[in-house]
Chain A
Amino acid sequence: MREIQAADISAAVARMCVSANTRLPDDVRRKFEEGLRNETTAAGKEIFRQLLENADLAFETKLPLCQDCGLAIFYVELGEDVFVPGGVNAAITEGMVAGYKDGFLRKSSCDPLSRRNTGDNTPAIIHIDLKPGDALKISYMAKGGGSENMSRVTMLSPSQGWEGIKQFVVQRVVEAGPNPCPPIILGIGIGGTFELAPKIAKQALLRKLDDLHPDPKVAEMEAELLAAVNRLGIGPMGLGGSYTCLGVKIALAPCHIASLPLAVNVQCHSARHEEVEF
């Protein structure tokens, strides 16, 4: 059994929340720079220019990149031989609360009916996967409401297959239009169950924009969806152009013989996530 101190986890999570909200990931920045060079519309180019200036300013001033610092989402890979006195959930939550408070990040969590703000961004949304071994990896994502609202889960019929999947994804992007702050990134969960598909769809957004899916067939599907979505011409902030989407990330899971669950998680261009390993 390996013991990891809760205080160490909390401190790392707090740092990660502040850092992710104030420092645009390098892979996203490279895409913005590419967009500034290659976008076909003047309005689209201007959006990329502003987003790069915004990223520089956020890094210098430690103001959040976006005022919507999101609900705090954590995907945790927890080794079965790890022991955290006080508990992993509590340690992550404590770190998140401290990071959002000390980093002047917006607290966006509220009661679903009374709409009363919980005041400290709790609860953290924590997904824990148990793994063999004694390692601990915590990935954090700041997920804003505007893009999350444009995300959908559907249960397709197996007969609809890849064509049905493509159609649903493209239609989702059409209907979302300018709302989710394009250029977007799409996390696509195919298979699993009604609750698993959206979980892996969001998890897929933790991948680097410029990585290639290890399965060449899936990598090809990602490229095909990306091209289909970018043909729509919605462009940065919906102002028209060839950069509607910066990347498509697909996650697959076996599903019931009767089902073809599909989840589309729409991520805004401010794709804020970081990870820490113990």
Chain B
Amino acid sequence: MTTHALNTPLTDADIEKLRAGDVVLLSGIIYSGRDAAHKKLMELLDRGEALPFDLQGASIYYVGPSPAPPGRPIGSAGPTTSGRMDAYAPRLHALGLKATIGKGKRTDAVRQAMQDHKAVYFGATGGAGALLSKCITASKVIAFDELGPEAIREMTVQDFPLLVINDAFGGELYAKPNLND
């Protein structure tokens, strides 16, 4: 297990260094997006319109934060279950998305897309939203404000603590259930 400090946007060289089980401290800009926002991104792509942010080297954090109390950039902000975005991820990886951040399993199609397009899937600790919010130093809504917690936010993170769950070489960190006992 290696610890890497990485800055966004991520490059192919960054991705190639990462193996399942590695720790990554991510800094820079990441974008929040979950169910409803992904559906809208797909509609934009279908119509041939520009996305609200540049996908090249981008990282999407599957999160719907709680409202920011006065004096804080954001509320609680832990990961949501990534599997619900599996229908959308391969198309975004093909367009340059380098990393997704969430919790839980991905489908074979997403794992394949990460290998095909040099991308990774990071896990953040689910249910640690207060703790993770400490690493988010700024946040602003850049698209789909009407979606409330599901709006797309541009977030600035500093040493955001992540685990590589799926790397770009087919490696996976999650424990296989022991069915033999």
**A interface footprint on B87-121 (CB within 8 Å = 1, 0 otherwise):** 00000000000000001110000000000000000
List, in ascending order, chain B residues with CB within 8 A of A69's CB.
66
- The answer to whether A66 and B78 touch across the interface, beta carbons within 8 angstroms, is yes
Indicate which residue in A53, A64, A233, A238 contacts B104 across the interface (CB closer than 8 Å). A238
Task: Name which residue of chain B comes closest to A57, CB basis.
Answer: B130
- The answer to whether A233 and B78 touch across the interface, beta carbons within 8 angstroms, is no
Asked if B126 lies at the interface with its beta carbon under 8 angstroms from chain A, I say yes
A240 to chain B, nearest CB (A): 4
Asked if B36 lies at the interface with its beta carbon under 8 angstroms from chain A, I say yes
List, in ascending order, chain A residues with CB within 8 A of B52's CB.
none
- The answer to whether B148 and A119 touch across the interface, beta carbons within 8 angstroms, is yes
- The answer to whether B65 and A57 touch across the interface, beta carbons within 8 angstroms, is no
Asked if B171 lies at the interface with its beta carbon under 8 angstroms from chain A, I say no
Which segment of A77-85, A102-110, A249-257 sits at the interface? A102-110
Question: With the chains together, A47 CA to B128 CA distance in Å?
Answer: 9
- The SS class assigned to the B binding surface is loop
- The answer to whether B148 and A66 touch across the interface, beta carbons within 8 angstroms, is no
Asked if B68 lies at the interface with its beta carbon under 8 angstroms from chain A, I say yes
Which segment of A173-181, A195-203, A213-221 sits at the interface? A173-181
- The answer to whether A239 and B175 touch across the interface, beta carbons within 8 angstroms, is yes
Interface residue range, chain B: 35 or more
List, in ascending order, chain B residues with CB within 8 A of A64's CB.
66, 75-76, 129-130
Indicate which residue in A51, A107, A173, A178 contacts B128 across the interface (CB closer than 8 Å). A51
Question: With the chains together, A115 CA to B134 CA distance in Å?
Answer: 30
- The answer to whether B129 and A54 touch across the interface, beta carbons within 8 angstroms, is yes
Q: Which of A143-164 contact B (CB under 8 A)?
A: 145-146, 149
Q: Which of B51-103 contact A (CB under 8 A)?
A: 63-69, 72, 75-78, 80-81, 83, 103
List, in ascending order, chain B residues with CB within 8 A of A104's CB.
66-69, 75
**B interface footprint on A191-235 (CB within 8 Å = 1, 0 otherwise):** 000000000000000000000000000000000000000011111
Asked if B45 lies at the interface with its beta carbon under 8 angstroms from chain A, I say no
- The answer to whether B149 and A108 touch across the interface, beta carbons within 8 angstroms, is yes
- The answer to whether B64 and A54 touch across the interface, beta carbons within 8 angstroms, is no
B172 to chain A, nearest CB (A): 10
Asked if B178 lies at the interface with its beta carbon under 8 angstroms from chain A, I say yes
- The answer to whether B81 and A67 touch across the interface, beta carbons within 8 angstroms, is no
Asked if B14 lies at the interface with its beta carbon under 8 angstroms from chain A, I say no
8 pairs, A vs B, C-beta closer than 8 Å: A51-B128, A68-B80, A104-B68, A117-B150, A146-B80, A146-B103, A177-B174, A233-B178
**Which positions in B face A, CB cutoff 8 Å?**
35-36, 39, 63-69, 72, 75-78, 80-81, 83, 103-105, 123, 125-131, 133-134, 147-150, 163, 173-175, 177-179, 181
**Which positions in A face B, CB cutoff 8 Å?**
43, 47, 50-51, 53-54, 57-58, 61-69, 104-108, 115, 117, 119, 145-146, 149, 173-174, 177-181, 231-235, 237-241, 268-270
Q: A64-B129, A268-B127 are in contact. List 15 more A-B contacts (CB 8 A).
A: A54-B127, A63-B69, A66-B78, A66-B127, A68-B64, A104-B66, A106-B67, A108-B149, A146-B103, A146-B104, A178-B174, A233-B175, A234-B177, A238-B104, A270-B127
